[in-house]
Amino acid sequence: MRQTNLLLATGLSLLLASGVAFAGGNSATVGQAGIGNVAGGGQIGFHNSLGISQFGANNTAAAVQLGAFNRSGQMQLGVANSGNNQQTGKANMAMTVQKGFANLTIAAQYGTRNVVMLAQNGGWNLAHALQMGDRNMVMSMQQGYFNADCTHQLGAKNAAVTIQAGVANEAGTSQIGKANQSLIAQAGWGNQAATYQTGAKNQAATLQSGIALNAATVQVGHANEAKTTQSGVANTSAAMQHGAGNQAIAQQTGFMNASMAVQLGKSNLAITDQSGAFNRSTTMQAGYANVAGTAQLGVGATSTTTQIGAGNVSATIQAGAGNVATATQYGNGNVSAIVQK
Are 97 and 122 in contact by the 8 Å Cβ rule? The answer is no
Q: For the whole model, what pTM was predicted?
A: 0.92
Q: What is residue 226's three-state secondary structure?
A: strand
169, part of any domain = no
Residue 148 lies in a domain: no
> What pLDDT is attached to residue 40?
94
Per-residue pLDDT at 123 exceeds 70: yes
The answer, yes or no, to whether residue 4 has pLDDT greater than 60, is no
pLDDT digits (tens, 9 = 90+) for 26-38: 999 999 999 999 9
Residue 128 lies in a domain: no
By C-alpha distance, which of 248, 247, 252, 230 is closest to 239?
Answer: 248
Q: How many domains does the chain have?
A: 1
- Specify the pLDDT at position 24: 77
In this prediction, residue 22 carries a pLDDT of: 57
Q: Which residues contact 324 (CB under 8 A, 6 or more apart)?
A: 301, 302, 303
Residue 226 falls within a domain, yes or no? yes
Are residues 155 and 132 in contact, defined by beta-carbon separation less than 8 angstroms? yes
pLDDT digits (tens, 9 = 90+) for 171-194: 999 999 999 999 999 999 999 999
* 38 found inside a domain: no
Contacts for 183 with CB less than 8 Å, ≥ 6 apart: 159, 160, 161, 162, 205, 206, 207
**Domain residues for 220?**
175-341
Q: Is residue 129 part of a domain?
A: no
State the pLDDT confidence band at 1, using cuts at 50, 70 and 90: very low
Is residue 261 domain-resident?
yes
Which is nearest to 214 in space by CA: 242, 241, 195?
195
pLDDT (tens digit, 9 = 90+) per residue, 41-94? Answer: 999 999 999 999 999 999 999 999 999 999 999 999 999 999 999 999 999 999
> Are the C-beta atoms of residues 162 and 191 closer than 8 Å to each other?
no
- Residue-averaged pLDDT of the chain: 94
- List of residues 6+ apart from 107 with CB closer than 8 A: 84, 85, 86, 94, 96, 116, 118, 128, 129, 130, 138
What mean pLDDT comes out for the span 15-19?
41
CA distance 23 to 171: 38
pLDDT value at 112 more than 50 = yes
Closest CA to 139 of 123, 156, 160: 160
Residue 283 lies in a domain: yes
Residue type, 19: G
> Is residue 305 very low, low, confident or very high in pLDDT (cuts 50, 70, 90)?
very high
